[in-house]
Amino acid sequence: MLCNICNKNQATVHLTEIVDNQMTELHLCDDCAKKKSIQMEQQFGLSDLLAGLVDYSKQLGGSEKSAVGTQCPFCGLTYEDFRKIGRLGCSECYTAFGRYLGPLLKRIHGASQHVGKTPLSLSQEEAKSAVRSRGSSVAELKAKLQEAVDREEFEEAARLRDAIKEAEKTEKKKKSKTEETGQ
């Protein structure tokens, strides 16, 4: 088989590309494959891809001017750095560049609200404080949970679910104590 690019040399490298969900096969000779791989690295480095997305998000949301010069106060990474390397500098960058990252995350994942697990220590702590601060009964919390679900506020719903579990435990304890003392 001859090389698809130069049509002169024997093809030794067989490449499968997926562009826009279309799969194409390329059969290349050594020389053309080398050229192609350099080209691909230039075109398809992850950071470049991300930079492309970053630019796209900017068209959608924030203006270019406000992004330039934004810097993370904690680690010193600038928005320009992020565009170049495609990596954030620390957890605080997410706050510093928050308004640009929202649209970007949406673009990458098709969503911008986390619904997965929460670090154990955090979920326990927040559930307790929620119960304390509101002093709500299980019934009240359950009503709030339903409202949150209706509004599709899943973050709030997850927090309320944990709070209900905690409140149920507390009520059970109270009840069994009352029974023990025979009152």
Q: Which residues bind other proteins (CB under 8 A)?
A: 16, 18, 21-23, 46, 50, 74-75, 77, 85-92, 94, 101, 104-105, 108-122, 155, 159
- CB nearer to other proteins: give 87 or 174: 87
- CB nearer to other proteins: give 109 or 175: 109
Write down the least CB distance from residue 176 to other proteins, Å: 28
Write down the least CB distance from residue 148 to other proteins, Å: 13
Write down the least CB distance from residue 126 to other proteins, Å: 9
- CB nearer to other proteins: give 7 or 59: 59
Binning the chain into helix, strand and coil, the percentages to the nearest 5 are 60, 10, 30
Are the beta carbons of 28 and 6 closer than 8 angstroms?
Answer: no
Exposed, middle or buried by CB within 10 Å (0-12, 13-18, 19+), for 105?
middle
Cα torsion 114, 73, 107, 53 to 10°: value is -160
Between CA 124 and CA 59 the distance in angstroms is 40
Write down the least CB distance from residue 81 to other proteins, Å: 8
Q: Where are the alpha helices (DSSP H) in 86-153?
A: 93-96, 98-109, 120-134, 138-150
Write down the least CB distance from residue 168 to other proteins, Å: 21
- CB nearer to other proteins: give 115 or 180: 115
Residue 61 DSSP class: S
Q: Where are the alpha helices (DSSP H) in 6-97?
A: 30-44, 46-60, 64-67, 79-85, 93-96
- CB nearer to other proteins: give 10 or 137: 10
